[in-house]
Amino acid sequence: MHIWALSLEKFFKSEKKSNSLLILALYKLEGYKTVELTEEQKQRRQEKAQKRRQQANEKMENDKNQTVHKLLKKQDSKNKRAFKARGGKRSNIPRILYRNTQDRISIHLPGEVSFPLVAQTATLYPEAQLCGVDGCYNKKTSVCSKTGVAVCGLQCYKKNLALHASKMATCAEAANAELMSGPGPVNSVELAV
């Protein structure tokens, strides 16, 4: 019997089909030469078939694990996004919760807050600081990094640097003049030994 005929015969036996189908398949294969297989060849074929089945099972298991891993990753990213959307780091701060439902109104306070609440007055918002450059009365927008003077814009920043540079130059000139004039009168004191 031919190899294909053997495999067809096994297929039909395992599937428990009617013998008429098996006979029909064998009639079609009668024109082929039959090859007798040795025990060693049969064993090799069985091992190869078993190996193919094992590889297919491993591949299915691997695909399943990858799918589960992808789904878990998606859930983690969704959880992170939901956590950030709810407040993230701020969620640890104790808060007062006010609820107004059909049957009751309630206020939930953190443990360290005493009830009834003590009346407090609102603190005044600090007045806007003005520009520190002479002759400018605009609101401060930034602080000069070199001098620490409040400025309102680029023009005042440049004026401030120019004033600071001129003050530094006059201070340097005064220091140089003092050094050039030489030491002043020296009082000599003799120590008695």
User: How far is 131 from 141, CA to CA, in rounded Å?
Assistant: 8
| pLDDT value of position 63 | 95
Minimal CA–CA distance to 96: which of 112, 105, 107?
A: 107
| pLDDT value of position 109 | 84
For residue 143, the surrounding DSSP H or E stretch is strand 142-143
pTM for this predicted structure: 0.32
Residue 39 DSSP one-character state: H
Task: Output the tens digit of pLDDT for each of the chain's 193 residues.
Answer: 555 556 656 665 665 555 555 565 555 555 556 678 888 988 999 999 999 999 999 999 999 999 999 888 887 777 776 666 555 556 667 788 899 999 999 988 888 878 777 888 888 888 888 898 888 889 999 998 888 899 999 999 999 989 888 887 787 777 777 777 755 555 545 555 4
Give the SS3 label for residue 43: helix
| pLDDT value of position 37 | 80
Compute how many other C-beta atoms are within 10 angstroms of the C-beta atom of residue 157. 21
What residues are paired with 151 via a beta bridge? Answer: 142
First-to-last CA distance in the chain? Answer: 137
